[in-house]
Structure 1
Amino acid sequence: MTALFNPVIPGCHPDPSVCRVGDDYYLACSSFEFFPGVPIFHSRDLVHWTQLGNVLDRPGQLPLPACTPSSGGIYAPTLRHHDGRFWLVTASVPHGGTMLVTAEDPAGPWSDPVFLPEIPGVDPDLAWDEEGRCWCTFAGIEQARIDPVSGWALEKPRRIWSGTPGARYPEAPHLYRVGAYWYLLISEGGTERGHAISVARGPAPDGPFEPCPANPILSHRGTDHPVQSTGHGDLVQAPDGSWWLVLLGTRPRGGTPGWHVLGRETFLAPVSWMDGWPVIGEIGSAAPPPVPPTGPAAPSRDDFDSARLHPRWVSVRSRPPEAVSLAERPGWLTLHARGRGLDDPAVTLVARRQEHHDARVRALVDAARGRGGLAVRLDEQHHYSVELVPGEVRVRARIGPLAQRVAARRVPDGPVVLGVETLASGPGMDHPRQEPDVVRLGFEDGSGEFVALAELDGRYLSTEVAGGFTGRVIGPYAAAGTVQVDWYDYRELVHG
């Protein structure tokens, strides 16, 4: 095992589910209102992860209508390998219900979904017993045996455990056979600062279950640990016999109450066993080696020279070919506006998740036939943008019901390098209301110098302000007409 560092998958990659096949690990995360859905990753050491693709990458697999709310969409997949196939079960909220897809290769293609109409909840889990029976457990905590091929339940769901008395939202169940017991791992307390993981065990997949006397076995609530909201974990055993937990957590910054802006991220923790119960170790950190052993890291720059977008790029709800093209102007990303820009659920946006508190983004944008630029988006009501129209660069801000043009500057006609920088606050607290970061928006002048037109408080693009379950994405958009992007460069800002 390579030296541990966290988060192992930064940015908005919550609700991780992991499985191992031989020496290879595969992990899937929630994707909410973004298309394509359910990013899937590969690793050889649980620390360095490479995105293979997205499980739900065809419109027929993932219909997200415009009425899908922000932080709706795809919730909490479970990824498993059984009988030579990969199985992924998830739920589309509020419209699609529980669905299951399969693949021989985790990189795809994945099947069209089979729906589970008698499984009404979210956070579905799959487990097979020694007789080959498939058990589906979901938030509640309820369970039923199912036929995973047809999707039909073989019995009426019933509650098998209620979690810790007084703890709200028992959810995120995962069921495992370890030795003589079946272990039921759940999250409870809500996915905010009270989040926790608890466990119970029983003689059979349907119990009866006895709770661990040390529950919750993991929670950072009430502590000053830099990683908060820890929960929604999934266990995996390594080839050497060691056990590990992938889980979600947040890294709040700034004053009181602290704001997390990157979303809920994927972390890794060691697991030991005492008296037949899992014990979660420290969620520590150390500097990663510069070159991941599983292959090159995702490039920071995209010149849009390929026939397909890299799988890290996401759009909001859909990405129709008439709105997004790599062929219309070879070597450029062409965006055709839909709706009313960033305030519209059907906005034409191609973005990537913000993965670092200190980040720098540049893009060469041509808006000769339209209006658009670079957006820092949390949802339709919370976003900042630096926007280009012929001869002018503007900065706009939308915070809840308030929308304003913050600044503008005349520029020569033609393509312009637009820029976004996020500058995190320090680890201490200068004052109780210190912002988590500052978002600088501007452009590069003719000499290549960055001109910041505005520096905006980052707290307004945080979950603590906006609500919901997602984190920031940063990318080009079209608000009117046609906008084209020659290249996009994202990188971590390293100070000093």
Structure 2
Amino acid sequence: MKYTNPILKGFYPDPSICRVNEDYYLVTSSFGYYPGVPIFHSKDMVNWTMIGYCLTRESQLPLFQSHASPKRLVGKTGIYAPTLRHHNGRFYMVTTNQAHYRNFVVSADQPEGPWSDPVDLEWGGIDPSLLFDDDGKVYITGTRSGHDEPDGIYQAEIDLKTGELVSERRLIWEGTGGSYPEGPHLYRIGNLYYLLIAEGGTEYGHMATIARSDNPYGPFESCPHNPILSHRNTNLPIQATGHVDLVQAHDDSWWAVCLGIRPYGYPFHHNLGRETFLLPVKWTNDGWPVLGDHGRIHLEMEAPSFFDGYAEIPSLHDREDFSPGKLRCEWNSIRNSIEGICSLNDRPGWLALYGTEFSLDDIDVKAFVGRRQQDYCCRVKTLLDFSLMEEGEEAGLTTFMNENSHYDIAVTVTNGKRQIIFRRRIGSLWKIEHRNEIVSDHIILAINADMTEYRYSYAIPGEEEIEIGTGEVFYLSTEVAGGYTGVYFGMYASGNGHVCKGPAYFDYFDYQIF
């Protein structure tokens, strides 16, 4: 039976997987979005359900920078490359918060949480990973911590209760010569230690390489057929493959998850972000892993023996009705908790957004609630009621890559007149392309996406839809906008210099696949 890649569509990069009996759990990076580190569950490694987040409190996930360096865009700050492991009945998630240049670990008895407060680690660099060895030692493995250390993979023993190292930090492997050796995972398989890393940068030269030793500190022998995964210099539909994590299934077969992208056009570009892919792993007679189809991943591959098919046919039309209580797992805010900027209880069945003085351009507390774009061809739609408006206030929908790259359709008041506007922000260029005067408090806003452009339209309920503007997908692609995330469709409100007088109400949010 076949399965389809990616197994997680849209911005779900740097996957890490672990197995507990016949259950599988997976986490990915979340960068500047809140809550942080989404966690998924599966019984077959193909059907995945998000069950929550590892970081759900601001005490766990401070995302506003505390250091003096320039403020980072949402796609370059926050949570980098988590690793998920299970040991003696407890889950451990170790990661980097790049907003504070800090590595930390949280733990939980259940993957749904609650997860502990962070334990800061005496460890620099990024991409930390953990190995719980058979003799009780715990190894932390990661990248260099600064320019005073050469490129390579570093390791030490660590006490996870205190975060302190209990051995010296040592360089254990420099990789095969590719740029940016990172994303390491150390495994003990039989009597050997395997060190799996990423090289080439998380871009089109990305690759996975592996080495092994009979000692956790090496010396490590490089695999003779490195890289064991790479799509570089090919025209395959999946590109930038790397950052691999291995897992042995409950039927003793081996599998791997990795990140990749699905670019298009020439030159290649992509806007959905780095996604999560699944691939089988075989072992050579002399004990080296062979990933996928001789180091290649396909959009369709042979599934695990225990995969019985897709749980249900994915819906082509998903509606969020904003029932009172709690938002569904797919929704995120930027840098800050949703608490205080939105409510599901002010008007039952509506999402209330309380606009701050900051706009989508600002790296500050903004009123934004969004979800990933997961399909190239799709449509989103919402009904907005923003009647308590004052001059300069606005609320609407945004196609958001980062603070420097977004397209917006919004309702605002200018010179005492209620207007619908369409605006494009591309780097340092900013322009309101169209303004149309409207009179209704209730207005339907919509975005239609395909592989070349986003089209923006509005309608008074019961009346014909009017297109107001378009924006090229290319300018919101990673290759142009930068960063490590993908596009979000978001609802937002802003007072543009002052706190909004009243909330903006959103009745529903439709996500439809074409």
TM above 0.5, one fold? yes
Within the candidate set 178, 188, 191, 2:199 is matched to 188
Amino acid at match of 1:164: T
Contact 1:50 1:294 in 2 (8 A): no
1:365 equivalenced with 2:379 (yes/no): no
Q: Identical aligned pairs, as a percentage? A: 45
Give me the whole-angstrom Cα distance separating, in 1, the residues matched to 2:10 and 2:421.
27
Within the candidate set 191, 216, 220, 2:231 is matched to 220
Amino acid at match of 1:55: C
Alpha-carbon shift at residue 298 of structure 1 (Å)? 11
Amino acid at match of 2:441: G
Amino acid at match of 1:122: I
- What secondary structure is seen at the aligned counterpart in 2 of 1:464? helix
Contact 2:316 2:513 in 1 (8 A): no
Within the candidate set 292, 315, 319, 2:337 is matched to 319
1:23 equivalenced with 2:12 (yes/no): no
How many aligned residue pairs are there?
477
Alpha-carbon shift at residue 449 of structure 1 (Å)? 4.4
Within the candidate set 84, 108, 122, 2:113 is matched to 108
Contact 1:100 1:115 in 2 (8 A): yes
1:304 equivalenced with 2:306 (yes/no): no
**Residues 310 and 113 (structure 1), Cα distance of their counterparts in 2 relative to 1, 3 Å cut:** same
Alpha-carbon shift at residue 3 of structure 1 (Å)? 2.2
Within the candidate set 266, 284, 298, 2:276 is matched to 266
TM-score by length of 2: 0.89
Q: Which residue of 2 aligns with 1:341?
A: 359
Q: Which residue of 2 aligns with 1:411?
A: 438
The CA deviation string for residues 28-81 of structure 1, in whole angstroms up to 9 with x for no partner, is: 000000010001101111111110011101111101116454221100000000
The CA deviation string for residues 265-318 of structure 1, in whole angstroms up to 9 with x for no partner, is: 001111111120000113223499998439987982111113011121111100
Alpha-carbon shift at residue 363 of structure 1 (Å)? 0.7
**Residues 352 and 367 (structure 1), Cα distance of their counterparts in 2 relative to 1, 3 Å cut:** same
Could you list the runs of 5+ residues in structure 1 that have no partner in the other structure?
425-436
1:234 equivalenced with 2:259 (yes/no): no
**Residues 448 and 156 (structure 1), Cα distance of their counterparts in 2 relative to 1, 3 Å cut:** farther
Give me the whole-angstrom Cα distance separating, in 2, the residues matched to 1:296 and 1:96.
39
**Residues 320 and 42 (structure 1), Cα distance of their counterparts in 2 relative to 1, 3 Å cut:** closer
Give me the whole-angstrom Cα distance separating, in 2, the residues matched to 1:443 and 1:254.
29
Amino acid at match of 2:164: W
Q: Which residue of 2 aligns with 1:431?
A: none
Give me the whole-angstrom Cα distance separating, in 2, the residues matched to 1:478 and 1:446.
21
1:91 equivalenced with 2:96 (yes/no): yes
Within the candidate set 404, 413, 426, 1:381 is matched to 404
Q: Which residue of 2 aligns with 1:128?
A: 132
Amino acid at match of 2:166: L
Amino acid at match of 1:385: D
Alpha-carbon shift at residue 114 of structure 1 (Å)? 0.4
Q: Which residue of 2 aligns with 1:162?
A: 174
Alpha-carbon shift at residue 445 of structure 1 (Å)? 4.4
Give me the whole-angstrom Cα distance separating, in 1, the residues matched to 2:480 and 2:357.
25
TM-score by length of 1: 0.92
Alpha-carbon shift at residue 97 of structure 1 (Å)? 0.2
Alpha-carbon shift at residue 408 of structure 1 (Å)? 2.4
Give me the whole-angstrom Cα distance separating, in 2, the residues matched to 1:290 and 1:235.
22
The CA deviation string for residues 121-154 of structure 1, in whole angstroms up to 9 with x for no partner, is: 1100000111111000002300010001111111
Contact 2:440 2:460 in 1 (8 A): no
Q: Which residue of 1 aligns with 2:509?
A: 488
Contact 1:129 1:205 in 2 (8 A): no
Give me the whole-angstrom Cα distance separating, in 2, the residues matched to 1:419 and 1:399.
20
Q: Which residue of 1 aligns with 2:148?
A: none
Contact 2:317 2:513 in 1 (8 A): no
Within the candidate set 85, 108, 113, 1:80 is matched to 85
Q: Which residue of 2 aligns with 1:433?
A: none
The CA deviation string for residues 63-115 of structure 1, in whole angstroms up to 9 with x for no partner, is: 11164542211000000000100000000004150000001110111001000
Q: Which residue of 2 aligns with 1:284?
A: 298
Give me the whole-angstrom Cα distance separating, in 1, the residues matched to 2:11 and 2:308.
22
Give me the whole-angstrom Cα distance separating, in 1, the residues matched to 2:317 and 2:345.
21
Alpha-carbon shift at residue 320 of structure 1 (Å)? 4.9
Contact 2:73 2:403 in 1 (8 A): no
- What secondary structure is seen at the aligned counterpart in 2 of 1:53? strand
Q: Which residue of 2 aligns with 1:350?
A: 369
Q: Which residue of 2 aligns with 1:171?
A: 182
Within the candidate set 162, 186, 203, 2:214 is matched to 203
Residues 410-489 of structure 1: matches in 2 within 5 Å? 410-424=437-451, 437-447=452-462, 449-480=464-495, 481=500, 482-489=503-510
Q: Which residue of 1 aligns with 2:40?
A: 41
**Residues 96 and 299 (structure 1), Cα distance of their counterparts in 2 relative to 1, 3 Å cut:** farther
Could you list the runs of 5+ residues in structure 2 that have no partner in the other structure?
66-70, 144-151
Q: Which residue of 2 aligns with 1:400?
A: 427
**Residues 188 and 459 (structure 1), Cα distance of their counterparts in 2 relative to 1, 3 Å cut:** same
Give me the whole-angstrom Cα distance separating, in 2, the residues matched to 1:297 and 1:83.
39
What is the root-mean-square deviation of aligned Cα atoms in Å?
2.0
Contact 1:420 1:441 in 2 (8 A): yes
